[in-house]
């Protein structure tokens, strides 16, 4: 039990350090503005103001579509950081100490995984799916969340550790391929730029099968040490979710995925 306590505390410490590092994403040499919608609070660089209305609309659209499918939506407004501090497009999602999305405004490189077009729209759907999956709590865990909110256990305190174990969202312990595959399903289902319909990921998968190097499900991880490295979780996870969708396409409820 003591080892489990220290393991949980170590994981929580890693989350805190990750949040501290990402807190530096917003630049300090430009004015930061704020706008609110029904379900989002957007903080953005002044130079990106023209792009913010479209970003807010897309966030609200993603929530309206995805929340019923995943049967969850954060109770508080999701914070969105929109900035131009990186030279490459990307996005992040995390839920402690509050749900937050972070989007880099730069465009993708020509050799990247994004095809030309509405790459930001695709990233919004992808990252908001992550928020829904790693924030959702049900049953007794949801009750504890309502009573105690989002909290981290105190080192050496068995009571707070036990509550944290009961209240932790199931999605935070889900395998990488499930989280990334579900997010790719969302971006593919509801945007035109989703990786589930792109030729490059399809080629990587087909060649792995042709070469007899199809990965075992235990290898579908972000830390996979061989080709295709971290993309293993994305590519194979996306195919698994696509298969799940095809198998359930005849059912009335789409959220069986």
Q: Encode pLDDT of 38-57 as tens digits.
A: 999 999 999 999 999 999 99
Using only C-alpha atoms, the chain has a radius of gyration, in whole angstroms, of 19
Q: What are 34's strand-pairing partners? A: 43
pLDDT higher than 70, residue 114:
no
The number of angstroms, rounded, from the C-alpha of 124 to the middle of its chain's C-alpha atoms is: 9
| pLDDT number for residue 68 | 96
Integer angstrom CA distances of residue 122 from 89, 118, 163, 255: 11, 7, 36, 20
Q: Report the percentage of the chain scoring pLDDT > 90.
A: 39
| pLDDT number for residue 133 | 96
The DSSP element (H or E) to which 83 belongs, if any, is strand 78-83
Residue 200 pLDDT class (50, 70, 90 cuts): confident
Integer angstrom CA distances of residue 3 from 7, 25, 101, 167, 185: 6, 34, 33, 19, 37
Residue 20 pLDDT class (50, 70, 90 cuts): very low
> In terms of pLDDT, which residue wins out, 101 or 137?
101
Q: At what angle do helices 2-22 and 158-167 cross, to 10 degrees?
A: 70
Measured CA to CA, the distance from residue 71 to residue 90 in angstroms comes to 26
Please write the tens of the pLDDT for every residue from 77-99.
Answer: 999 999 998 888 899 999 988 99
* Lowest model confidence (mean pLDDT) among 20-24, 64-68, 146-150, 182-186: 20-24
Query: Tokens for 190?
Result: 């509801």
> In terms of pLDDT, which residue wins out, 24 or 20?
24
Structural domains of the chain sorted by starting position, each given as residue range(s) with its CATH number in brackets? 1-174 (3.40.30), 176-257 (no CATH)
């Amino acid at each position: 039990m003591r080892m489990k306590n220290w393991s949980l505390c170590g994981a929580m410490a890693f989350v805190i350090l990750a949040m501290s590092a990402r807190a530096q994403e917003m630049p300090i040499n430009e004015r930061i503005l704020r706008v609110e919608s029904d379900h989002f609070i957007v903080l953005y660089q002044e130079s990106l103001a023209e792009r913010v209305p479209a970003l807010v609309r897309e966030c609200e659209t993603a929530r309206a579509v995805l929340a019923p499918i995943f049967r969850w939506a954060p109770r508080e407004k999701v914070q969105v950081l929109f900035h131009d501090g990186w030279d490459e497009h990307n996005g992040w999602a995390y839920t402690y100490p509050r749900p937050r999305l972070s989007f880099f405004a730069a465009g993708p490189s020509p050799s990247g995984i994004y095809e030309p077009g509405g790459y930001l729209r695709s990233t919004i759907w992808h990252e908001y799916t992550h928020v829904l999956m790693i924030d959702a709590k049900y049953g007794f865990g949801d009750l504890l969340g309502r009573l105690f909110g989002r909290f981290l256990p105190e080192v050496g305190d068995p009571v707070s550790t036990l509550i944290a174990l009961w209240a932790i969202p199931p999605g935070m312990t889900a395998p990488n391929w499930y989280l990334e595959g579900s997010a790719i399903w969302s971006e593919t289902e509801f945007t035109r730029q989703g990786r589930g319909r792109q030729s490059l990921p399809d080629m990587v998968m087909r060649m792995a099968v042709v070469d007899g190097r199809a990965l075992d499900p235990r290898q579908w991880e972000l830390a996979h040490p061989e080709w295709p490295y971290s993309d293993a979780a994305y590519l194979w996870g996306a195919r698994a979710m696509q298969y799940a969708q095809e198998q359930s396409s005849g059912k009335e409820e789409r959220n069986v995925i």
